[in-house]
Amino acid sequence: MASATRTSASTASCAPPTFHTSSPSTPAATRSACGRSTRLRGSASRSTTWQDRASVRVALVADLHGNAVGLDAVVAEIVRDEFDEVVCLGDVAQGGPQPVETVDRLRELGWRCVFGNSDEFLLTLDPGSEQLDEDRLARLLAVGRWSADRLGPERLELLRAYEPTVELDFAGRRLVCCHATPASNEDVILPDTPRDAVETALADADVVACGHVHLQWHRRIGRKIWFSAGSAGLVYEHTEPMSERPYEPWAEYAVLAAEPAGSLRLEFRRVPYDVDAVLAATHASGMPDAEHFASQWQRA
């Protein structure tokens, strides 16, 4: 498996805690969502604490959308590089040809998983308030019904058991891992979101890691950090209309490390994978509108 593509980016630093980033270039984003919103305030989450450790590293993986090929590419790197914890930030099964394989692989890996809006959609088949034209709505519902049927009751209950948020005591800082925001699995925070809205979404977290928008980006608000891990299953060009967006031939994830001097380091990674394997899975899957889905993929 090819290793991650890492391109250098500007490094930001300040008085302790210092924060460094390494990132591939990314386009501006627009909203990406599927399914209805769940408000998550007041939901309980387990907390993990590491003590007496010189350094700690966590991998954040988001938005697999039924692409087990992309997931396996990320897993190969994660196994090679060894992490203290891996958290999946939700949207696991809906949208791609391998919902069963993706859910089963995550169960096998034992990663903690956050409950995304498309995970909820598979339980309700209710698109909620999302504004969709007739074509997209019909496609969404057809693939959703197919995915839910393939998963069956047991795997759907696994999705239902995913956590609203995962909280980690990360080198003395409160790291909140969520799908969209700590309070919702559908709200949207983007690079151009007003500062006061980001501050409100951060609440009492020191660091928030999210998915949902299929974009790798980060923002500092005072001594706090908000970042989005990108998508491991469906990376696309955000400047194109939704119905015409080509899917890129790589998986994205993020690495957050706490280093001995008290600094944090955030790295965005891209891992190329075999698009032909995704296309083969698509054509063999029996998923509705497979030809349209297959036509959106680009090769490197």
Q: What is the pLDDT of residue 243?
A: 65
Tens of pLDDT, residues 154-181: 999 999 999 999 999 988 899 999 999 9
**Distance between CA 275 and CA 73 in Å, rounded?**
11
Number of domains in the chain: 1
Neighbouring-strand partners of residue 195: none
**Is 137 within the bounds of a domain?**
yes
pLDDT tens for the chain, 300 residues long, are 333 333 323 333 333 345 566 666 433 333 333 333 334 433 344 445 544 455 799 999 999 999 999 999 999 999 999 999 999 999 999 999 999 999 999 999 999 999 999 999 999 999 876 778 888 899 999 999 999 999 999 999 999 999 999 999 988 899 999 999 999 999 999 999 999 999 999 999 999 999 999 999 999 999 999 999 999 999 997 777 666 789 999 999 999 999 887 789 999 999 999 999 999 999 999 999 999 999 999 876
Max CA-CA distance within the chain? 56
Q: Is residue 255 part of a domain?
A: yes
Separation of alpha carbons 52 and 71, rounded Å: 32
Residues spanned by the domain of 51: 19-295
Residue 4 lies in a domain: no
Taking the C-alpha atoms of residue 94 and residue 97, their distance in angstroms, rounded to an integer, is 9
Q: What is the pLDDT of residue 293?
A: 94
Identify whether 10 is part of a domain.
Answer: no
- Does 300 map to a domain? no
pLDDT single digits (tens) 44-72: 444 455 444 557 999 999 999 999 999 99
CATH number at residue 216: 3.60.21.10
User: Are the C-beta atoms of 123 and 150 separated by less than 8 Å?
Assistant: no
Does a cis peptide bond (omega within 30 degrees of 0) precede residue 288? no
- Cross-strand bridge partners of residue 181: 184
Cα–Cα distance for residue pair 179/184, rounded to 1 Å:
8
Measured CA to CA in angstroms, residue 247 lies from 70, 132, 275 at distances of: 12, 20, 10
Asked whether residue 225 is assigned to any structural domain, the reply reads yes
pLDDT of residue 53: 55
Report the half-sphere exposure of 195 (CA within 13 A, side-chain side): 4
Residue 13 covered by a domain: no
CA dist 119 and 250 (Å) reads 22
Which residue from 24, 85, 30 is spatially nearest to 217, judged by alpha carbons?
24
Is position 6 within any domain? no
